[in-house]
Structure 1
Amino acid sequence: MPEGHSVHRIARQFARHFVGEPVRVSSPQGRFADGAALIDGRTMTDSKAVGKQMFLEFDAALWLRVHLGIYGAWDFSGSITQDATQRSARGRMGQTNMTGTDPDAAPDARTTVVGGHEASLSSIGAPRRTRLRMAEAEKESVIDDAALAAFPPEPVGQVRVRLLTERAVADLRGPTACEVLDAQGVQRVIDALGPDPLVDDADAGEERMLARIRGRRVPIGLLLMDQSVVSGIGNVYRAEMLFRARLDPHVTGAALPDDVIRDLWRDWRYLLGVGVETGQMLTMDGLDEEGQRAALRNRADRHWVYKREGLPCRICRTTIALEIAAGRKLYWCPSCQAGV
């Protein structure tokens, strides 16, 4: 399931290529035809993410709410540019080195700081149509395809919603939620969510998260995945944050000192920022130049415990454990994470 950084990156793609443009909205699959008709032809006026939820605003104060869930993905096509820093990794993040720099250079040489310039997805020279799939960041891919000369391309597969401007198209597949809401409906959804470090004031968000964990007799490993407690944390960030804090995932919220909860919020702010900047859930600090290159290329070199069950802990060499908690896989080190 996409975690918070992925959804924020998708929202930025819409802000860059769709906001301010009239948009033709259709449902090639047919399952969202009524909803599409409500916003078809309207101008997109805003794009934002809160945790794992994304909201696209159209004039007349109508919003398209999308929650990708486990199987959802957006495919972008047309004259589009990549979200800042998405080219920072090779392999799963992109099929080619789009910047024209040395592919073995240090990550910073190929990484664009968020808010800086963005390179085109098309090749240097005459623009070519390009496709970009954005879902869970581990599966993000770029396809520079000369066959996309015809625009817009025909929908492929079960496309729930197609958003089309003169220059760009976005196809939505397999979402858990897809609906048109008014402003009050959007606010009700947001009110039910926990704080998001990229949306909420840092101090106010910290207090909200503290209030929603303090006194709860629920394991912290479950609370961090509860989107009403804090927004955007999924299975990867949950496992990694708990290891970074050396917290036993079974300790309840009620047993945690306030300063530990505050530290979790601050670490989530930090990791979310890194995720949005690099497009990767990079959770290991203090890596040298070679380690950074390896981490950006390969998930196996980027995490402390996630998907490392049966392998020795990177710190103490204890075997990383795997268990099922509320239907999701939980990875942790029984030695490093032995206490509060």
Structure 2
Amino acid sequence: MPEGHVIHRLAGRYADAFGGDVVRVDSPQGRFADGAKRVDDRVLTSTDAHGKQLFIGFGENGWIRVHLGLYGKVAFGDGPPPAPVGAIRLRISTESAHAELRGPTVCELLTSTEKSAVHDRLGPDPLREDADPDDGWKRVRTSRVSIASLLMNQRIAAGVGNIYRAEVLFRQGIDPYRLGRNVTRDEWDRVWGDLVTLMRDGVRTGRIDTVAPQHTPEAMNRPPRVDDHGGEVYVYRRFGADCLVCGESIRTDVVEGRNLFWCPGCQKG
């Protein structure tokens, strides 16, 4: 599932391609046909992102909310758009550009009030200027749940997914099984600050890189990582490999339905 930096990048791409333009909106697949009709031939006024939720705004006509889920993808291209091929849930286009959305978990039209309700259900997003890490800390400090589980809770840190969870805990030397109530405020602040830095880098580059300069392939004279997700990381999907810092073997376990990765040498209990 795409993590928060991907959604913020999509918000920027929609704004760059269509912001301020009257756009055609349709649903070749038909599953969003009614919503598409209500904003077709309207001005795309703004875009927004919060965690893994993407919002495409049409002023008083409402907001399209998109959650990509596991299978959703967006493809951008020049305009006008070609004849539709396959199950396109949402297509936005002008004479100069088009974007096609396929396979999302959610694609719906909301009022501004309904959009606000979605924000209220989410926790602070490290990529948003209005984020308050205290909102997440209030839930962490009294929790009997592991910090690895808590970081997957979108009411605590919206947009954080499996990769950022594993990497930020490694970078801060925190045992992923430590209970939330045993995490100090200083540790939470360091985790939050690191998420802000890493996720902003992800928005800028379009990939997740978490290794320090001294641990890059060039610095360590090692082959670059080859993985569908791209990026140089410390522990994610490196089960059984030697830790780049201490040499211990990376371990894995399933936490919150996803594979957690960590180093027992660098993240002691």
Does TM, normalized by the shorter one, top 0.5?
Answer: yes
Counterpart position of 1:26 = 26
Distance 2:231 2:13 in 1: 28
Asked if 1 retains the 8 angstrom alpha-carbon contact of 2:144 and 2:180, the reply is yes
Counterpart position of 2:82 = 153
Paired AA for residue 45 in structure 1: T
Counterpart position of 2:200 = 273
Any gaps of 5 or more consecutive residues in structure 2?
none
Distance change (3 Å), C-alpha of 1:295 and 1:11:
farther
Paired AA for residue 269 in structure 1: V
Counterpart position of 1:224 = 151
Paired AA for residue 56 in structure 2: L
Q: Which has the higher contact order (CA 8 A, sep 6+)?
A: 1
Asked if 1 retains the 8 angstrom alpha-carbon contact of 2:55 and 2:63, the reply is yes
Distance change (3 Å), C-alpha of 1:241 and 1:47:
same
Asked if 2 retains the 8 angstrom alpha-carbon contact of 1:282 and 1:296, the reply is no
Query: 185, 205, 213: which is aligned to 2:114?
Result: 185
Counterpart position of 1:115 = none
Any gaps of 5 or more consecutive residues in structure 1?
80-150
Asked if 2 retains the 8 angstrom alpha-carbon contact of 1:78 and 1:167, the reply is yes
Q: CA deviation at 1:289?
A: 8.9
Distance 1:195 1:291 in 2: 35
CA displacement, residues 39-67 of structure 1 (integer Å, 9 cap, x when unaligned): 11111000111111110100324000001
* Percentage of identical aligned residues: 45
- Once the two structures are superposed, the pairs formed by residues 202-217 of structure 1 within 5 Å of their partners are 205-217=132-144
Structure 1 residue matching 2:119: 3-state secondary structure: helix
- Once the two structures are superposed, the pairs formed by residues 319-330 of structure 1 within 5 Å of their partners are 319-330=249-260
CA displacement, residues 5-48 of structure 1 (integer Å, 9 cap, x when unaligned): 11111110011111101111111111111111121111100011
The TM-score, its normalising length taken from structure 1, stands at 0.74
- Once the two structures are superposed, the pairs formed by residues 238-249 of structure 1 within 5 Å of their partners are 238-249=165-176
Asked if 2 retains the 8 angstrom alpha-carbon contact of 1:321 and 1:331, the reply is yes
Counterpart position of 1:4 = 4
- Once the two structures are superposed, the pairs formed by residues 104-115 of structure 1 within 5 Å of their partners are none
Q: CA deviation at 1:295?
A: 5.8
Q: CA RMSD, aligned part only?
A: 2.1
The TM-score, its normalising length taken from structure 2, stands at 0.93
Asked if 2 retains the 8 angstrom alpha-carbon contact of 1:284 and 1:304, the reply is yes
Distance 2:49 2:225 in 1: 24
Q: CA deviation at 1:326?
A: 1.9
